[in-house]
Structure 1
Amino acid sequence: MNIIHVLILALIEGLTEFLPVSSTGHLVVASAIMGIGKDEFVKLFEIVIQLGAILAVVVLYFKRFFRSVDFYVKLVIGVIPAVIFGVLLKKKIDILLESPLVVAVAFILGGVILLFVDKWFNKPTVTEEKQISHVTALKIGFFQCLAMIPGVSRSGATIVGGMSQKLSRKAAAEFSFFLAVPTMFGATLKDLYDFYKHGNMTAADIHQDIKYLLIGSLVAFVIAMAAIKSFITFLEQKGFRLFGVYRILAGIVIIVLYYYSNVLHTV
């Protein structure tokens, strides 16, 4: 992995983290195309820069994080399913992260759902985070677990989950953003600990790793700042249909590349 790979992956992460198109899926495919998909540090890098992008939420919604204790109670409740399933399925998830074909199938299935989700859930009654109940937060947390399959999209799963519980598109998207903060913070700490605990690293290796992680996180953070505001505006005006079309087309392209070229066989 070199600095060009770092910048490309960070750019992709910043642009896609909050869109219902799966940032992880895009990173898996991009890593495969660049021939770095088998690298254990790349897998760590892809998790850490997601936290970098998600920290943009804390900056943009800073006041929301000081509104009430109940806000944090909802986030804790919402993240419990991901913690449980993440621990139980860690090894299987790591295997899935190596498969562009899994990403492609998830892209297409998720795309089909996004084509119709605006019609399915078009009568919201919850328009603000403070109206979300603890039970609803838990249900959305279970939807978030679907994103452990690369290509599903964490934001897409939680937004659709929120809309299924009568949240408006904006309220569902914002709660999805908030829920990402503790989820990715925990995942990042866990992966960092596992990587450096079991790795035989020299001081030079660690120095370069830290440099790449910091640069990647910073780039993802800056790009995500702009992406969040643009996404909310687009979502309120246009809905999910265009994202559904994109996912289906992207999934088809990945399948074609997988079966008819050697581009995606580096993982």
Structure 2
Amino acid sequence: MIEMIKAIVLGIVQGITEWLPISSTGHMILVNELMPLTVLADVAANKEFVDMFMVVIQFGSILAVLLLYFHKLNPFSPRKNAYEKRSTIDLWLKVIVAVVPAGIIGVLFDDLIDAYFYNPITVAAMLIVYGVAFLVIENRHRRPSVTSFDKMSYKTALAIGVFQVLALIPGTSRSGATILGAVLLGCSRGIAAEFSFFLAVPVMFGASLLKLIKMKIAFSLATASVLLVGMIVAFIVSVFAIRFLMGYIRKHDFKAFGVYRIVLGVLVLAYFFLIK
């Protein structure tokens, strides 16, 4: 029962932090550090399961995007005219182009990234660095030139994809890196956030599939139940988190998230250097 409660907490954290630019992976690592998920008795097998859980639970968050943006992402919707259908296909092609850089780097260096960067100190450092970046960029924010996906070029989409590569380092935030990159490239906050959501679908699905393929332990009722609960909770919470973010950025900028990242990063460093 206690492990189910931990899975629920992790699902809540995943659902909130995946879409806000504050690093879901970073928060998941930190929460698991404070309340470790222990589903399997064997230490090595449990570590492998937890590593997989941290990634595959994101599938619940993907479903939230598909639910909320089903019409916008569906090129075959009978409610769309021919122009709208072509625009939707064009949007998907831009997403695919933007996915390529992180997809290549992720597949080639996934194990090295896991081995060297999945630790609280890296997370804290990246929280602070990109928190400062948000404040700097927002202070220099100019009138956006890309206010719709039709105005986004394939070159811009690819450049946003390059920014997404930065998010392979835990603590960076996939949404944070892509939103920052998109804003720097002239996208409005709304377009930057939505494109970040859409990029998450193939990226997170691919990452989840890769982790499942690499997992060497067999699923039991206990492991499957914990994973399923985490995914369901992440899905429900993600729906509310996405709606909150889109409503928030209509009236505010991203400075609050930058301040939050810096404060959290400092607290994490203080915990691991002064307390633990």
TM-score by length of 1: 0.91
Q: Residue 137 of structure 2 aligns to which amino acid in structure 1?
A: V
Give the CA deviation at 1:65. Answer: 1.1
Structure 1: tracts of 5 or more residues without a match: 263-267
Give the CA deviation at 1:134. Answer: 1.2
Give the CA deviation at 1:97. Answer: 5.0
Partners of 2:3 and 2:37 within 8 A in 1: no
> What CA distance in whole angstroms lies between the structure 2 residues aligned with 1:45 and 1:96?
19
Stretch deviating more after TM superposition (164-173 or 127-136)? 127-136
> What CA distance in whole angstroms lies between the structure 2 residues aligned with 1:219 and 1:19?
17
Q: Which residues of 2 match residues 151-230 of structure 1 at below 5 A?
A: 151-195=171-215, 198-199=216-217, 201=218, 205-230=219-244
Q: Which residues of 2 match residues 34-73 of structure 1 at below 5 A?
A: 34-36=35-37, 39-67=47-75, 68-73=88-93
- Number of the residue aligned with 1:140: 160
Stretch deviating more after TM superposition (214-223 or 64-73)? 64-73
> What CA distance in whole angstroms lies between the structure 2 residues aligned with 1:255 and 1:83?
31
- Number of the residue aligned with 1:242: 256
| Residue number among 108, 115, 124 corresponding to 2:144 in the alignment | 124
Partners of 1:96 and 1:102 within 8 A in 2: no
Instruction: Call closer, same or farther: CA 1:211–1:36 in 2, change over 3 Å.
Output: closer
- Number of the residue aligned with 2:17: 16
Give the CA deviation at 1:80. Answer: 0.4
How many residues were matched structurally? 256
Partners of 1:47 and 1:187 within 8 A in 2: yes
Stretch deviating more after TM superposition (172-181 or 212-221)? 212-221
> What CA distance in whole angstroms lies between the structure 2 residues aligned with 1:35 and 1:72?
38
Structure 2: tracts of 5 or more residues without a match: 39-45, 76-87
Q: Residue 52 of structure 1 aligns to which amino acid in structure 2?
A: G
Give % identity.
Answer: 41
SS in structure 2 opposite 1:124? coil
- Number of the residue aligned with 1:4: 5
Give the CA deviation at 1:207. Answer: 2.5
Q: Which residues of 2 match residues 103-122 of structure 1 at below 5 A?
A: 103-122=123-142
> What CA distance in whole angstroms lies between the structure 1 residues aligned with 2:140 and 2:60?
33
> What CA distance in whole angstroms lies between the structure 1 residues aligned with 2:147 and 2:64?
22
> What CA distance in whole angstroms lies between the structure 2 residues aligned with 1:164 and 1:244?
15
> What CA distance in whole angstroms lies between the structure 2 residues aligned with 1:97 and 1:216?
24
Stretch deviating more after TM superposition (162-171 or 30-39)? 30-39
SS in structure 2 opposite 1:78? helix
Give the CA deviation at 1:218. Answer: 0.8
